[in-house]
Amino acid sequence: MAILSVKNLQKSYKKGFLKKESVKVLKGVNFEVSREIFGFIGPNGAGKTTTMKAIMGFIFPDSGEIRIFGKLNTDVSVKRKVGFLPERPYVPLSITGKEYLDFCADVYGIPYYKRRKKYLKLLELVELVGVEERKLSSYSKGMVQRLLFAATLLNEPEFLILDEPMSGLDPVGRSVIASVIRRLKEEGKAVFYSSHIIQDVERLSDKVAIIVGGEIKLIDSVSSLISKFITGYTLVYRKVGESSLLSKEISRQELWSFLEKLRREGYEIVAVEPKSLSLEDILVSFIKGSGGMI
């Protein structure tokens, strides 16, 4: 059973001073998330945050169905199993890190006798031990982001929904959050997240969906996706009996005919290395409207 199932999700907003015009933001979005790390990518305005808000029940779609653990996303029992990190959460900077965690623990109904041990574990996880008594105004943007991420884990959720979890993080901070996300997957949890840092998505995700203009353009595993967008090959070969190596870059279309030519002329193949578009290149191709033509 899928952890998250989104079927034919559609959403429109009114625009203009008199709100007479309608803009369709989501145009029949469909996808499923299992116990995996699922990256959700697309340009600004593509519908990523709108989709996440609909999944969380913060906005209501015009049509479609959203189920989490087999139940409608509006079912209160489902909420207890979900951890959510919004893209731009409001946090009062006048409170300390511990006070923020206390506030979240109150929301989750976590008793006081369990909090100290839980806080220490989470702060160690995001490398913030020792700063929890400081005011958030003294934190860097990345430190605040890591604290917010830790707070989403307080209720030990089985499913994480993270809108731009790497926002504001330096490379070390991104590495910390990526490590935690991988650990969550190893524990059997599911993670659905969006990010503009496509290199992180490529390294971290099991599966990825590309959304452009409110439509899902492609869903696949990252490894399969990259292999589908092979642009050519680098061949390394040598004359039989000789040690010097030769190399040549060729297109996908030339591969088999060139290999046959080498065989006829007495060459042996040392290596055939595919050259593929990066996930970022693939996303850009869909944004420009050429994704199906590569």
* Residuewise pLDDT in 10s, the chain (294 residues): 799 999 999 999 887 666 777 889 999 999 999 999 999 999 988 999 999 999 999 999 999 999 999 999 999 899 889 999 998 888 899 999 999 999 999 999 999 999 999 999 999 999 999 999 999 999 999 999 999 999 999 999 999 999 999 988 888 899 999 999 999 999 999 999 999 888 889 899 999 999 999 999 999 998 888 788 888 899 999 999 888 999 999 988 888 999 999 989 999 999 988 888 888 888 888 888 755 443
Domains in the chain, number: 2
Strand partners, 192: 38, 161
In sequence order, the 6+-apart residues with CB closer than 8 A to the CB of 74 are 57
Instruction: Identify the pLDDT of residue 133.
Output: 95
Residue 168 near residue 15, CB atoms below 8 Å: no
In sequence order, the 6+-apart residues with CB closer than 8 A to the CB of 16 are none
Is 293 inside a domain boundary? no
Tokens (6 digits) for 50: 């709108």
Instruction: Identify the pLDDT of residue 18.
Output: 67
The continuous run of DSSP H or E covering 239 comes out as: strand 230-239
For residues 149 and 251, membership in a common domain is answered with no
Domain boundary among 163, 183, 213: 213
The CATH number linked to 11 is: 3.40.50.300
For residues 235 and 182, membership in a common domain is answered with no
* Domain encompassing residue 208: 4-213
For residues 143 and 282, membership in a common domain is answered with no
For residues 82 and 207, membership in a common domain is answered with yes
For residues 84 and 40, membership in a common domain is answered with yes
For residues 240 and 151, membership in a common domain is answered with no
For residues 257 and 120, membership in a common domain is answered with no
Instruction: Identify the pLDDT of residue 286.
Output: 85
What is the distance between the alpha carbons of residues 91 and 32, in angstroms, rounded to a whole number?
31
What is the distance between the alpha carbons of residues 236 and 179, in angstroms, rounded to a whole number?
36
- Strand (E) positions, 4-127? 4-15, 21-33, 37-41, 63-68, 71-72, 82-85
Residue 186 near residue 156, CB atoms below 8 Å: no
For residues 77 and 26, membership in a common domain is answered with yes
Is 270 inside a domain boundary? yes
